[in-house]
Amino acid sequence: MSDKHGDEDESKKAKMHLKANDLLCVNGCGFYGTPQWENRCSKCWRAHQNEVKKSQDFAKNKSLLSFDQFQERRKSTTESKSRGIKNLFKTSPIPEGGTSSPTSTSPAGTPTRRRDLSPDSLEARKQFTDFLVINLTTAMAQEIARSVKNAVGKISEMKMNSEDMSELVMSYYQYLGERIGVHSLFNSPDCKVKVEDVMDQVEKYISTYRIRSLHWVTAGYLETKLVFKKQAVRDKIDEAISELIEINAKKSAFEKLECLTRSCKAIFEALKESESATSADEFLPTLIYILFRGNPPLIQSNVKFISRFAIPSRLMSGEAAYFFTNLSCALEFARNMNHESLQMEKTEFEAYTSGHLAPPLSVINSACNQAMYVLEGTIETIVTVAKKAESLAKNITNMNGKTDDDLDKMLVVIKETVDFYPTQEYLNMKESIFTEEQETADLLVSLSRQSSESGRGTLSSTADNTQPSTPQPQTDSCINESPLVTAIKEEVSDSS
């Protein structure tokens, strides 16, 4: 920086003194330069401008993750931590306008990232060396460490695109695998190597935007059968989403795949909770939905990273491979998704995607909102409760009517039964009534005789009055049922 300022001072002086030497092109090509062209000659200025434009275009195209930064970041991992921090302080105060400095195009986000990654790579290196020291003989550990270090160094030095990089890493795996195979070792060193190369993931940053623009596509459109009203289902979906996001935080392809597997397992459980089939017919749409819901950061890059840098056999067999393939499919689907795959009008689809039109808030559609689910669920519960209360009330009325009917019927039955099968008590009572009646009758007879002697006429009336009144207190004390009482009364009247 100080050099640059010095240059400027000199150029100012040069203008004032107009020394012939200072008029020469700063590139030292021997031609004269002009101050408008920053003391360059026409040829050098054009070349310089081209370069600037190129780097600006580059920065524009890959705004966040331009190749330069990517390269730098990778380099920084091989540098020591202290140096990384020094770089931080060095790069931050550079003024934006300084066209001569190549780092000026970098956005503010880079330094923090570098700071994040540098300790990570140190940690990874430490782990790797520890691993080598513990598990291997010194000679071999040294050999492998040297080999890995060379490879990583070469990889970071070389300017190449991701395709070449992937191929290089693949071939390196094979080479290292062969070397280690001679020494009869398992493939975990390969896993560790990946940690050093992890930074390569960042360069591809594609479909996250695409996914964001398709956020309106919800479960309804994808014909998933998730029952969002269930709390358990929602929990599982959140779990799946968080695992999917977690993929980006993991450093090695193996760990990333583990995250993916956990995420997919959670999806299956959500499907199970929704009581729908757990076949691929259901799984893929759900995965796509979760992809839209969660919009995991740099998922495209992560998928590419895994497919490039994981050990090939891991991607060709096993559960993780299946889930990985499904994730690739889901991304592929998201990329190619159009109005046809959702069965809607093209204009409609475009309007939704570009954000000109909000998708209609249908029941299925608005179901993407958590609060809505809860509300919906509550409303449903309330409705069912109300319905139940209503039916309960109805049942109670029915029950009352029925008991009344039953009581009447029962009384009739009791009466019939009692008529057919009189109890001993009843018989006794009857008998006692009968004997009493007999007695009264006798009494009456004797009375009537007496009265006949005195004078006829009162016999019939007194007999009628006394007969029903005499048994009444007895029956009341014995049997409380009113119908029985009437029955007894009838009986009494019959017998009389």
Partner 1 sequence: MPDMATEQKSFKFKVVLLGEGCVGKSSLVLRFVENKFSSRHLSTIQASFQSKTINIDDCKAELHIWDTAGQEKYHALGPIYYRGSNGVLLVFDITDRRSFEKVKNWVLEIKTCLGKSAEILIVGNKTDLEDERKIARQDAEAYAETEGAIYMETSAQDNIGISEAFEALTAKMLDRARTAPTEATSANRSIRLIDDEERDGRSKRCCR
Query: C-beta of 93: minimal distance to partner 1 in Å?
Result: 32
Nearer to partner 1 by Cβ, of 164 and 442: the residue is: 164
Nearer to partner 1 by Cβ, of 31 and 333: the residue is: 333
**Rounded Cα gap, residues 495 and 430, in angstroms:** 9
Q: Give the 3-state secondary structure of residue 34.
A: strand
Q: Which positions touch partner 1 (CB under 8 A)?
A: 154, 157-160, 164, 167-168, 170-171, 174-175, 223, 268, 271-272, 275-281, 283-285, 312-313, 316-319, 321-323, 325-326, 328-329, 332-333, 336, 340-342
Query: C-beta of 160: minimal distance to partner 1 in Å?
Result: 6
Nearer to partner 1 by Cβ, of 185 and 329: the residue is: 329
Q: Within 13 A of 449's CA, how many CA atoms are on the CB side?
A: 5
Q: Kindly write down the DSSP assignment for every residue of 300-349, as one continuous string.
A: HHHHHHHHHHS-HHHHHSSHHHHHHHHHHHHHHHHHH--HHHHTS-HHHH
Query: C-beta of 387: minimal distance to partner 1 in Å?
Result: 27
**Rounded Cα gap, residues 162 and 304, in angstroms:** 10
Query: C-beta of 346: minimal distance to partner 1 in Å?
Result: 15
Spatial neighbors of 194 by CB under 8 A, at least 6 apart, are 251, 252, 253, 254, 309, 310
Nearer to partner 1 by Cβ, of 216 and 333: the residue is: 333
Query: C-beta of 281: minimal distance to partner 1 in Å?
Result: 5
Query: C-beta of 294: minimal distance to partner 1 in Å?
Result: 20
Nearer to partner 1 by Cβ, of 254 and 323: the residue is: 323
Nearer to partner 1 by Cβ, of 52 and 168: the residue is: 168
The whole-angstrom distance between residue 224's C-alpha and the CA centroid of its chain comes to 14
**Rounded Cα gap, residues 243 and 302, in angstroms:** 13
Nearer to partner 1 by Cβ, of 35 and 181: the residue is: 181
Query: C-beta of 288: minimal distance to partner 1 in Å?
Result: 9
**Rounded Cα gap, residues 70 and 167, in angstroms:** 18
Residue identified by tokens 């890959």 is 62
- φ, ψ of residue 40 in degrees (nearest 5): -110, 160
**For residue 81, how many other CB atoms are within 10 A of its CB?**
13
Residue identified by tokens 């109300």 is 386
The whole-angstrom distance between residue 309's C-alpha and the CA centroid of its chain comes to 28
Tokens in use for 66? 């331009």
Query: C-beta of 149: minimal distance to partner 1 in Å?
Result: 16
Nearer to partner 1 by Cβ, of 45 and 352: the residue is: 352
User: Do residues 444 and 462 lie in contact, with contact meaning Cβ atoms separated by under 8 Å?
Assistant: yes
